[in-house]
Amino acid sequence: MSDFIYSNTPGKSGEFIRSIQSIYHRDAPEVFEFHGTWGSLGVSRNMYEGFQVLESDLHIFVVVGGPVLNFTNNRFLTGDDPVAGTREIFKRYVNGKIQLDEDLSGPFVILSVNKEQGTVTCITDLMMFIPVYHYVNHDKLVLGTHVDMVAKAAGQQASIDHVSLADFVINNVITFPYTAYETIRQLEPAAIHQYKYKEKEIQATKPVAYWMPEEKQAFNNLQQAAAALREGTNAYVKRVTDGMDRVAQFISAGEDSRAVAGMLPEGLQREAYIFLKKMNREGKIGGKAASVYNMSFSPHIFSKTRYIDILSEASDLVGSGHQYIHSHSLGPHIIWELDRFSAVFGGFLSDTLLKGHHVKLIKGSGFFTFFPQIPSKGFSSVNRDDKIAKFLVPSSIHHAITERQNNHLKKINKIRPLSYEEWFNIWPLSMHKDMPNLHSNRRLFRSYEPFMCKEAVKISASVPAGWKLNRRLFQKAMHPYLKKSRWLIHSKGFMPFFPWWVNILPQFGIWIYRKIITLTGITQGNQEDLVDWEDLMKTPEWEKTIEHHVNNRIVSGHFLNIPPKEAIRGKELKPAQKVNLLQVMYLLRKNYVTDPD
């Protein structure tokens, strides 16, 4: 997927080219620049065939991402017309016939610049899978798909929002619509945003929502919803692969990748890839799954220090306020040459959208994995670590974070009064900490995620939370695609082909067995995670990284109660919070301030 930067102020030639390419440490894409009385625009080459920028006498039309078109075929994905897909969307857009929530499926952003009228229109996707940021002053507008590029183009690199940085360190995300910069905000999801520079002033119209995740049940029963989900995801895969002869897929020991493998047409040559810290249970089961679905299998073993080695490269790629540690494919994508595939499939966001990952459950559900998922009653909390906040940051910043979260919660409560806690974390999806996985992948290869299709999104919004829990919706929908692997266990000890109630006893037995062999030392460590943070933080490399990136004086007196080195080396913060703070320190030194040393 490409990135863009737009400014209503005409810039210097090459400025946006350098800015976009600067987020890449290697293999920076080609960038196209446009200049006129209407302003300046930089657009990087789209990874997806057929979606390059389109310019006419009147418009410049940009499509970020590779949305699946539901109103025509998608064979241009393997064709030689660089603007075929962009042109199809543009024709419907200018004719006023486009139905955004139905015609386009998956992650996308549309930017339209009317060169004659000086109007700029930006359209975000259903869940804002791809966030867009804007800086609006009385006479200046900057829009873009990477927050640090927007800050640089707007001259706002010094306008640090310490509340946002503290929010990120403590809670893994920055509360919508804020960003790491005081003067830059996120655009609204599933909305049309329009701007015009008139009489020396930027006039921004109120965003027009073309879809909302309203709490309206659209199906009479679970079976209907499952059938619609199965049809929608399968149609998405078929539309993408129509005309392709070879695709890649990320495999795992889980069920999401198996469901995707079952959807892929059998006539395709299919290659499966997996990331591992060692050839453990995850890798062994993943290899068996690849064999069952007749795919080649290529594992990649990460080094012990992998997730500090990529700190600078991944942080620059995904931008401030997004956890770099989710950039799993960065590096292996070169070894595997993933950019040679017309499509690379994943199983991302199935848990989030279809299995109630953010539904609050009764205590013990996480530990006793065989226990049925039962939602907790009453309000608990949302995405908040008050204990750490009180220790780490001044009370004024803690209160500001809480106020921002409460304001966002109230907004979600109006849309979804019965499930506001769940949707607090996913509307928009910039509130979901794992999204940098997509932000990284989309810039490296042609990534497709079936569980981000429009049907998955709409069904997620239109069914009760109880249908998602215990994999009920997912299992019924994906049942045909899991049949080949029906006797292959999941890494968590159950068999995905069967419903939850069939799995209780066998999963309990496997759970007991694994606890015993772990306690006796036969099996050591977590068998699923890609990194053991506690072990990593005992290495000399971790200490060298702290010394290299952390300067106590940069944040002295700003948003921490204690020196950052002390916080990172102490026992109070969780491993993820320490890594978040380390990432913030790297970005502060690189992007925002002059090192006092």
Q: How far apart are CA 489 and CA 481, in angstroms?
A: 15
Q: How far apart are CA 167 and CA 384, in angstroms?
A: 9
Q: How far apart are CA 169 and CA 177, in angstroms?
A: 17
What's the confidence (pLDDT) of residue 378? Answer: 60
What's the confidence (pLDDT) of residue 375? Answer: 83
- Specify the 3-state DSSP secondary structure of 246: strand
Q: How far apart are CA 463 and CA 103, in angstroms?
A: 22
Pick the more confident residue, 522 or 22.
Answer: 22
What's the confidence (pLDDT) of residue 595? Answer: 42
Q: How far apart are CA 123 and CA 446, in angstroms?
A: 21
3-state helix, strand, coil in the chain (%, to 5): 40, 15, 45
Q: How far apart are CA 411 and CA 413, in angstroms?
A: 5
Average confidence (pLDDT) over 363-389: 72
Q: How far apart are CA 131 and CA 65, in angstroms?
A: 12
The domains located in the chain, with CATH, are 4-209 (3.60.20.10), 224-359+428-493 (3.40.50.620), 533-592 (no CATH)
Neighbours of 334 (CB within 10 A): 13
What's the confidence (pLDDT) of residue 53? Answer: 98
Kindly tell me if the per-residue pLDDT of 19 is higher than 70.
yes
**Band of the pLDDT at 504, cuts 50, 70, 90?**
confident
Q: Where are the alpha helices (DSSP H) in 492-571?
A: 500-519, 533-536, 540-549, 564-569
- Classify the phi-psi angles of 493: left when phi > 0, otherwise alpha if psi is within -120 to 50, otherwise beta: left
Q: How far apart are CA 430 and CA 32, in angstroms?
A: 27
- For residue range 512-569, what is the model confidence (pLDDT) as tens digits? 887 787 777 665 555 567 899 999 999 999 999 999 988 766 665 578 999 999 999 9
Pairing state of beta strands 119-124 and 191-198? antiparallel
Q: How far apart are CA 467 and CA 374, in angstroms?
A: 11
Kindly tell me if the per-residue pLDDT of 489 is higher than 90.
yes
What is the pTM (predicted TM-score) of this model? Answer: 0.94
Pick the more confident residue, 595 or 436.
Answer: 436
**Band of the pLDDT at 505, cuts 50, 70, 90?**
confident
Q: How far apart are CA 407 and CA 302, in angstroms?
A: 41
Give a three-class secondary structure readout of 406-475: HHHHHHHHHHCCCCHHHHHCCCCHHHCCCCHHHHHHCCCCCEECHHHCHHHHHHHHHCCHHHHHHHHHHH
- For residue range 41-58, what is the model confidence (pLDDT) as tens digits? 999 999 999 999 999 999
Average confidence (pLDDT) over 250-261: 97
- For residue range 296-310, what is the model confidence (pLDDT) as tens digits? 999 999 999 999 999
Average pLDDT of the chain, as a whole number: 92
Kindly tell me if the per-residue pLDDT of 374 is higher than 60.
yes
Strand partners, 36: 39
